[in-house]
Amino acid sequence: DAGITQSPRHKVTETGTPVTLRCHQTENHRYMYWYRQDPGHGLRLIHYSYGVKDTDKGEVSDGYSVSRSKTEDFLLTLESATSSQTSVYFCAISESRRGGQETQYFGPGTRLLVL
C-alpha cells in the first residue's frame, strides 16, 4: 500500500458522535485525498489537500472536514456522524495533481459503521 497507513481500520460509532480518521504517508507526496466507496458507486472524492494547510472540497464534502498540519498526515473528521456516512473510506496520495498521468496510490481503507 505504497507507504500509506490508515487508522483506525475499523470503527463502529453512534449517530451524532464525532469521528476522526487518520491517514499517514511516508512517501512525502504533496497531494493527499479522502474518498468514500459505497456499493454500486464508484469511489467519490470527499476532500483533498495540495499542501500543508491547503485543502479543497470534492464532490461529496457535506458533513466532512479535513486538516493537514504536516505533509505526512491528513485527517478526515465527521463532526456529527450520520448513518448515511457508513462507508469504506480510502486515503490516497500522489506527487502531482489528480487527473494527470501521475498515479494515485491508495491506502488500505477504513470501514466505518454508524449505528
Partner 1 sequence: KNQVEQSPQSLIILEGKNCTLQCNYTVSPFSNLRWYKQDTGRGPVSLTIMTFSENTKSNGRYTATLDADTKQSSLHITASQLSDSASYICVVSALNNNDMRFGAGTRLTVKP
Q: Which residues bind partner 1 (CB under 8 A)?
A: 1, 4, 40-45, 90, 92, 97-101, 103-109
- The CA distance from 61 to 47, in Å, is 6
Residue 19, all three cell numbers: 469521528
CB of 40 to partner 1, least distance (A): 6
Q: Which is nearer to partner 1, 34 or 80 (CB)?
A: 34
Bridge-based pairing of strands 87-94 and 105-106 is antiparallel
Q: How far apart are CB 88 and partner 1 at their closest, in Å?
A: 9
Whole-number Cα distances in Å, 92 to 14, 15, 74, 104, 105: 26, 26, 10, 6, 5
In the bound state with partner 1, the residue whose beta carbon lies nearer, of 64 and 106, is 106
Q: Which is nearer to partner 1, 1 or 14 (CB)?
A: 1
Give the pairing type, strands 54-57 and 110-114: unpaired
CB of 84 to partner 1, least distance (A): 18
Cβ count within 10 A of residue 40 = 4
Minimum CB–partner distance for residue 78 and partner 1 (Å): 20
Nearer to partner 1, 51 or 108 (CB): 108
